[in-house]
Chains A and B, each alone.
Chain A
Amino acid sequence: MKCRFGEGFAVLVMALTMAASAHAIEADELLRQVDRNLAPQSYAMYRKLINIEPDGRRKEYVLFTAKKGRDRMIALFLDPPSEKGRATLRLGDNMWLYIPGVGKPIRITSLQSVVGGVFNNADIMNLDYSVEYEAEALTEEPDAYRLELKARTGAVAYDRLVMRVDREALVPTEIEAYAASGLLIKTLHFSDMKDFGDGINRPAVMETDSPLYRGYKSVMIYGSIEPREFPDEVFTLDYLPRAGELR
């Protein structure tokens, strides 16, 4: 009996382990599918970023972004004139900021705010979620999948994300970003599904609020996203001052 109980227990453990790993694979696959639905791996993109204060005052920024592969990206400010020409380069976990007046790129960190407000560099220079986060759990809600994500390294701005994914479109509807302490840093709300062409059908508006900035709101509007392959030499410090030529 003892032996049979032991065998039965082993079978049960194996079955549970396999089920859990099957679930984890599903979660990873779902996350990768979400990434591809949001943007191709290499692209050119125009975005507008709006900071809205409690009294309704707004500051708007326009960004051009070029991304190649898993982790190479340039974000260039095109507007307002006070920020025009400011460019950020990301190569993996390394980031540099070029300010025209300073005249040379300087190393910065992902948490640093480039423009002030609720958005920081990590929001502007974000890679695919599946590159920066590991899917730890997948549960189902009446109208959404709920993914729990954990940062793969300490270099990522938010330690954990809780992502709600639309069951049909497989794009995020809401993402909660938490610090390692468990503190909710911000919530991203996605809306306004739009067909960008080339099979890209995704939310065009991402609104952000944060308990750390009560009453303030930041909005990211996606104007255009197109698949595009850039030469490797574009993602270098010497090319950064000329990022405007990529448009």
Chain B
Amino acid sequence: MCDGRWFAPWLLAFMTGAFAQEDYSFDVEQFQKKSFEWSGYVEARPERAWLDRDSALAQLNFFDQTTTSTLDRAAGALELSALYRRGMATVQGTVHSSGTSGDQGSQGETRLYEGYLTLQPATGARLEAGKRALRWGKSYAFNPLGFVERPKDPNDPELSREGFVMLGGNFIRSFEGPLTTLSLTPLLVPTGGDLNEEFGEAGHLNPAAKLTLLYRDTDIDFLILGEGARSLRYGVDFSRNLTTNFELHGEWAHVTDAAKPVLLADGNQTIETADTTSHLLGLRYLTERDTTWIAEYYHNGAGYTEGQMRDYFTFVHDAYDAAQAGDTAPIQRATALADRYARANPMRNYLYLRVSRKEPFDILYFNTALTLIQNLDDGSRSLSPELSYTGITNLELRLRAVFLAGNRLTDFGEKQNDRRLELRARYYF
């Protein structure tokens, strides 16, 4: 028979031993600065899209193909970053490879997102040369002040993006008093030959600058891009905590001589040139139950009006009918303008709202979010619920759906898909 008097001391000894053996070791040496460091991630992203075959953009993309009601594809990505330090110099870079395979075939590409040399002669002074991905502005979803960067995807604003080749510096001074920090970032973004081909016309130095202030607990940036491959543009942004859990931010951008291709109702094309002003006002609010609200109103001064978008979509529908009858010239004209009309948020007024809840029902490492992008001009919208889990070290899982809603001839109503479901598994190393 089992005697408890023997069992109890053994149990106590076992428990004491177990606690004493708790592994709290920590080798600091392993994490001290090294001359060479590298990191990266590998990503798998299967997705299914439900096509709206009568939409303008589906007709534009598949006018010469037979389509099914759904499109499946598997996407993958590998991103590697590395840096090498020697004295005051650091060389660092990021290479991004991506590929897709699915109903529309397979494709892949590898691009250098960043690759640059930094010289830091003093803590508050830095010189940089090479390909650099800068992020200007305070907005989460939009970037009216992204004068020297590629457009942000409001559906996934945290995705890494390719930079431009530039020569620049950064000079920081700190002070006592209401002005705590003053920082200047001057840049040159030269264009010529293959260099920064996507930035604009060749043969320009494209000077730009950002002046940053931390003044009375408010972040303020003044930004400018001089005339060159792009027209002169300048702006200002700010961010401030009104209370500890309530942040307010805003952006204002003015672009001189902004040129915009416009397709007229009769099918002819014209270039509209005008000074445009964009602005944005946003907030971030954290509730006591760890729910974060991000809301932004964005006025895109360079965007298309509701009438201009209706003209374009009407033209695409007519061009599709013509293509089915054998005349593909009109749809080729519509395709040539798609990079302006079919890009993210091409119109004037948008509302972005994201509500995210960390660890609902006390499930550790589990997060939920709902993102709404509402077109305030035509009433169409995109709604994206998502679930993510980070409980396994270095593995990030995200399941996301996107539902698009809107009438015919509206922004989201004429997108290629009605809805989309994707699972993203990303492993960091």
A-side residues, CB < 8 A to B, are: 46, 48, 50-51, 53, 57, 59-60, 62, 64, 78-82, 84-85, 91-94, 99, 101-104, 106-107, 109-113, 116-117, 154-155, 192, 205, 212-213, 216, 219, 221, 223-224, 231-239, 242, 244-245, 247
Find the A residue at minimum CB distance from B245. Answer: A109
Instruction: Decide: B31 and A82 in contact? CB cutoff 8 A.
Output: no
Chain A hits for B391, CB < 8 A: 57, 59
Q: A46-B31, A116-B364 are in contact. Are A59 and B286 (CB under 8 A)?
A: no
Residue-wise, chain B 336-362 has the 8 Å CB interface mask toward A (1 for contact) of 000000000000000000000011001
Instruction: Decide: B183 and A111 in contact? CB cutoff 8 A.
Output: no
How many residue pairs between the two chains, A and B, have CB atoms under 8 Å in the bound complex?
147
Instruction: Decide: A84 and B31 in contact? CB cutoff 8 A.
Output: no
| Interface residue from B136, B158, B214, B393 paired with A59 (Cβ < 8 Å) | B393
Which 10 pairs, one residue from A and one from B, show the smallest C-beta to C-beta distance? A232-B174, A233-B124, A103-B135, A82-B428, A223-B28, A247-B33, A104-B135, A81-B428, A231-B123, A223-B26
Chain A hits for B126, CB < 8 A: 242
Nearest CB of A to B216, in Å? 11
Q: A103-B135, A109-B245, A245-B33 are in contact. Are A82 and B396 (CB under 8 A)?
A: yes
Chain A hits for B321, CB < 8 A: none
Interface residue B72 (Cβ < 8 Å from any Cβ of A): no
Q: A116-B358, A154-B244 are in contact. Are A247 and B32 (CB under 8 A)?
A: yes
Chain A hits for B396, CB < 8 A: 82
Measured in the bound complex, the distance between the Cα atoms of B39 and A112 in whole Å is: 26
Find the A residue at minimum CB distance from B33. Answer: A247
Instruction: Decide: A213 and B362 in contact? CB cutoff 8 A.
Output: yes
Nearest CB of A to B142, in Å? 14
Find the A residue at minimum CB distance from B31. Answer: A78
* Additional 15 contacts, C-beta under 8 A, given A81-B429, A154-B243: A81-B39, A102-B135, A104-B136, A106-B239, A109-B247, A111-B245, A116-B365, A117-B364, A205-B24, A212-B362, A219-B24, A223-B28, A231-B123, A233-B173, A234-B123
| Interface residue from B26, B133, B214, B284 paired with A237 (Cβ < 8 Å) | B214
Interface residue B170 (Cβ < 8 Å from any Cβ of A): yes
Chain A hits for B286, CB < 8 A: 109, 111-112
Chain B hits for A99, CB < 8 A: 158
Q: A94-B241, A224-B28 are in contact. Are A238 and B364 (CB under 8 A)?
A: no
Nearest CB of A to B217, in Å? 6
| Interface residue from A46, A111, A236 paired with B181 (Cβ < 8 Å) | A236
Chain B hits for A155, CB < 8 A: 244
Instruction: Decide: B364 and A82 in contact? CB cutoff 8 A.
Output: no
Instruction: Decide: B214 and A236 in contact? CB cutoff 8 A.
Output: yes
Chain A hits for B160, CB < 8 A: 101, 103
Find the B residue at minimum CB distance from A64. Answer: B31
Find the A residue at minimum CB distance from B426. Answer: A82
| Interface residue from B37, B183, B247, B365 paired with A238 (Cβ < 8 Å) | B183
Measured in the bound complex, the distance between the Cα atoms of B240 and A219 in whole Å is: 33
Interface residue B394 (Cβ < 8 Å from any Cβ of A): yes
Q: A101-B158, A236-B183 are in contact. Are A80 and B214 (CB under 8 A)?
A: no
Find the A residue at minimum CB distance from B184. Answer: A238
Measured in the bound complex, the distance between the Cα atoms of B393 and A229 in whole Å is: 34
Measured in the bound complex, the distance between the Cα atoms of B170 and A236 in whole Å is: 12
Name 22 A/B residue pairs within 8 A (Cβ), A-sorted: A48-B26, A50-B24, A57-B391, A64-B31, A80-B393, A82-B393, A102-B158, A107-B219, A107-B241, A109-B244, A109-B286, A154-B243, A216-B364, A219-B24, A233-B123, A235-B174, A236-B172, A236-B181, A236-B183, A237-B181, A238-B172, A239-B172
Interface residues in B176-224 by Cβ distance below 8 A to A read 180-181, 183, 185, 212, 214, 217, 219
Chain A hits for B138, CB < 8 A: 106
Chain B hits for A221, CB < 8 A: 24, 26
Chain B hits for A48, CB < 8 A: 26
Nearest CB of A to B235, in Å? 15
Interface residue B13 (Cβ < 8 Å from any Cβ of A): no
Find the B residue at minimum CB distance from A116. Answer: B365
Measured in the bound complex, the distance between the Cα atoms of B216 and A92 in whole Å is: 12
Measured in the bound complex, the distance between the Cα atoms of B395 and A59 in whole Å is: 12
Instruction: Decide: B390 and A82 in contact? CB cutoff 8 A.
Output: yes
| Interface residue from A64, A107, A192, A236 paired with B239 (Cβ < 8 Å) | A107
Chain A hits for B27, CB < 8 A: 223
Instruction: Decide: A116 and B359 in contact? CB cutoff 8 A.
Output: yes
Measured in the bound complex, the distance between the Cα atoms of B243 and A102 in whole Å is: 24
Nearest CB of A to B132, in Å? 10
Chain A hits for B212, CB < 8 A: 237-238
| Interface residue from B159, B172, B244, B290 paired with A110 (Cβ < 8 Å) | B244
Nearest CB of B to A227, in Å? 16
Chain B hits for A78, CB < 8 A: 31
Interface residues in B145-184 by Cβ distance below 8 A to A read 157-160, 170, 172-174, 180-181, 183
Nearest CB of B to A239, in Å? 6
Nearest CB of B to A75, in Å? 13
| Interface residue from B135, B159, B284 paired with A107 (Cβ < 8 Å) | B284
Interface residue B368 (Cβ < 8 Å from any Cβ of A): no
Interface residue B120 (Cβ < 8 Å from any Cβ of A): yes
Find the A residue at minimum CB distance from B429. Answer: A81
Nearest CB of B to A64, in Å? 7
Chain A hits for B247, CB < 8 A: 107, 109
Greatest chain A CB density within 10 A among B32, B172, B249, B365 is at B172
Find the B residue at minimum CB distance from A234. Answer: B123
Nearest CB of A to B248, in Å? 9
Nearest CB of A to B165, in Å? 17
Chain B hits for A216, CB < 8 A: 364
Find the B residue at minimum CB distance from A82. Answer: B428
Q: A219-B24, A223-B26 are in contact. Are A238 and B358 (CB under 8 A)?
A: no
